[in-house]
């Protein structure tokens, strides 16, 4: 090793030690903890096991244990994933799936309850309603724990699940934004999108910026960066509306409604007007790219990405996509026939009836304190530690997750973009019913969704109207639900399905969650 390399190595180690020392000083009250009696802090997670525990410890508990020698963590999994992998299937080929919520509840209320629980956003609402978690607001006030710079997406989203109270905190989150190609808008003479636009606004922009035919077509919008699935696009478009396919008991379809009709009409028109690329459109583009690759012997690393290829002006993607874009732009000179372009992000489009709700926001590491915690004091100290400013500074280097504290949210990789686009909207409220439980009890219920895929394609092709397609889906879906209610695994029954004629007077209102 050269002297210069040695100096660099030791310099890096010294910087790391200095950061840890700074974190120790900021988050620890001194050496009194080290002199106290050893205490156990039990942390409950959904999936435990030998494969998952080391990662969780590395991410969340190792540094705290290093700073607090008298604290020992026990990581308790509600479901042992390593054991579940080896379960013997039932005679029908299925495996018995445990109820995740009930398993988590057992950890909180059993004979040896956990102190801290790590949950996702959907479980937070149910646990607060079942009075399983301690309210954190009094502890926040007593400790003078500063949450002033928590981004609205996180703190307001957490409060929304707890009747405007805080029952858990998360140091990180993931979110999506609307990415747009500045050059395509400039070439079309159209003003680019801005924050807080509605779906109608964005679709109008997509219409104005689209141009060309065939393999030369430039599309205005891709609801999903991977494109090509209109039915999935309709689900993403309507996510904030929380429309249901069937009722809470899985006995009746709820798709033949004016709200479903509005969603299907809007999304199908994106494809009919060729504002969004269909699978057929994508195949034409890929075939042209493949032919070029075959003729020249060069395969472009951006083949398949219509946004980076300059074929789509706007697309919705998660925060991690920034990594892909910046890497591509930084290596533009190495990509044949590729011209780098300026880009930016704005908030995802919203529905006028749900102006502050944006889809694809996830809190996967919410930490709360069990009502029956034996060690609530250390539990709160640990939650403060993982949500501290010092912790946020360390975690801010991630290129795939965002930290909850705005002070440490900075653009990555030398790029300049509107990072607030990821931190403004609220997540879709948690469902008030346990849809996963219904799917466990009636695994064949997804068969009732299948006609929707086929019928939506027929709408796009012009073979059926939206009204006709939704009524046919309702009829076919009800037949499936009736069958699986007598045979929940969906393996018995069968026969033909009669489709009722379209009743133009049938106008049922959609039944949203909550």
pLDDT category of residue 11 using cuts at 50, 70 and 90: very low
Rounded to the nearest integer, the mean pLDDT of the chain is 86
* Residues contacting residue 311 through CB under 8 Å, at least 6 positions apart: 217, 218, 219, 277, 285
* CA–CA separation, 501 and 475 (whole Å): 10
pLDDT at residue 432 in the model: 66
pLDDT category of residue 507 using cuts at 50, 70 and 90: very low
Does residue 226 surpass a pLDDT of 50? yes
pLDDT at residue 6 in the model: 44
- List pLDDT tens digits, range 171-183: 999 999 999 999 9
Query: Which CATH number does 19-174+361-422 carry?
Result: 3.40.190.10
Does residue 452 surpass a pLDDT of 70? yes
DSSP 362: B
Q: Rounded to two decimals, what is the model's pTM?
A: 0.86
The DSSP result for 112-134, as a single string, is S--SEEEE-HHHHHHHHHTT-B-
Residue 94 gets the label, from left (phi > 0), alpha (psi -120 to 50) or beta, of beta
Q: Crossing angle, helix 466-486 and helix 258-272, to 10 degrees?
A: 120
Q: 272 near 460, Cβ under 8 Å?
A: yes
Alpha-carbon separation of residue 436 from 151, 439, 447, 513 (angstroms):
30, 5, 15, 14
Does residue 370 surpass a pLDDT of 80? yes
SS3 313: strand
pLDDT category of residue 80 using cuts at 50, 70 and 90: confident
Does residue 379 surpass a pLDDT of 60? yes
- List pLDDT tens digits, range 342-359: 999 999 999 999 999 986
Residue whose pair of structure tokens reads 């939206």 in the numeric block = 466
* CA–CA separation, 24 and 14 (whole Å): 15
According to CATH, where is 3.40.190.10 located in the chain? 19-174+361-422
């Amino acid at each position: 090793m050269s002297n210069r390399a040695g100096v660099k190595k030791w310099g890096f180690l010294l910087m790391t030690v200095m950061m840890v020392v700074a974190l120790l000083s900021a988050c620890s009250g001194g050496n009194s903890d080290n002199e106290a009696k050893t205490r156990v802090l039990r942390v409950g997670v959904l999936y435990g096991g030998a494969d998952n525990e080391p990662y969780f410890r590395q991410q969340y508990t190792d540094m705290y244990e290093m700073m607090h020698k008298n604290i020992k963590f026990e990581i308790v999994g509600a479901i042992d994933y390593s054991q579940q992998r080896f379960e013997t299937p039932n005679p029908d080929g299925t495996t018995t799936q445990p109820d995740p919520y009930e398993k988590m509840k057992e950890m909180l209320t059993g004979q040896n309850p956990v102190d801290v629980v790590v949950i996702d956003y959907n479980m937070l609402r149910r646990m607060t309603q079942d009075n399983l978690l301690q309210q954190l607001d009094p502890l926040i006030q007593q400790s003078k724990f500063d949450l002033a710079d928590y981004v609205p997406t996180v703190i307001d989203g957490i409060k929304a699940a707890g009747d405007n109270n805080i029952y858990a905190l998360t140091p990180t989150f993931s979110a999506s934004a609307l990415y747009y190609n500045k050059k395509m808008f400039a070439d079309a003479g159209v003003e680019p999108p801005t924050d807080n636009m509605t779906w109608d606004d964005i679709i109008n922009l997509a219409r104005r910026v689209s141009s060309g035919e065939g393999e030369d077509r430039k599309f205005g919008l891709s609801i999903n960066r991977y494109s090509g699935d209109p039915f999935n696009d309709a689900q993403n478009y309507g996510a904030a509306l929380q429309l249901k396919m069937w009722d809470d008991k899985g006995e009746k379809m709820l798709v033949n409604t004016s709200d479903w009709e509005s969603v299907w009409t809007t999304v199908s028109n994106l494809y009919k007007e060729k504002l969004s690329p269909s699978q057929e459109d994508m195949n034409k583009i890929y075939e042209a790219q493949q032919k070029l690759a075959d003729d020249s012997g060069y395969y472009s690393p951006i083949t398949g990405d219509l946004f980076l290829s300059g074929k789509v002006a706007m697309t919705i993607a998660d925060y991690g996509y920034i990594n892909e874009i910046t890497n591509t732009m930084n290596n533009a000179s190495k990509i044949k026939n590729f011209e780098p372009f300026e880009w930016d992000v704005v908030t995802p489009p919203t529905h006028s009836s749900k102006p502050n709700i944006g889809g694809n926001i996830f809190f996967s590491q919410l930490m709360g304190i069990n009502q029956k915690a034996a060690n609530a004091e250390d539990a709160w100290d640990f939650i403060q530690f993982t949500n501290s400013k010092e912790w946020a500074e360390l975690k801010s280097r991630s290129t795939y997750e965002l930290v909850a504290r705005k002070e440490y949210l900075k653009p990555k990789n030398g790029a300049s973009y509107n990072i607030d686009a990821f931190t403004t909207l609220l997540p879709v409220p948690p469902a008030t019913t346990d849809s996963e439980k219904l799917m466990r009890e009636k695994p064949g219920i997804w068969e009732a969704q299948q006609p929707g895929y086929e019928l939506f394609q027929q709408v796009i092709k012009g073979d059926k109207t939206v009204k006709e397609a939704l009524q046919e889906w309702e009829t076919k879906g009800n037949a499936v639900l009736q069958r699986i209610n007598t045979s929940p695994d969906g393996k018995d029954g069968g026969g033909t399905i009669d489709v009722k004629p379209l009743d133009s007077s049938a106008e049922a209102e959609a039944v949203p969650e909550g």
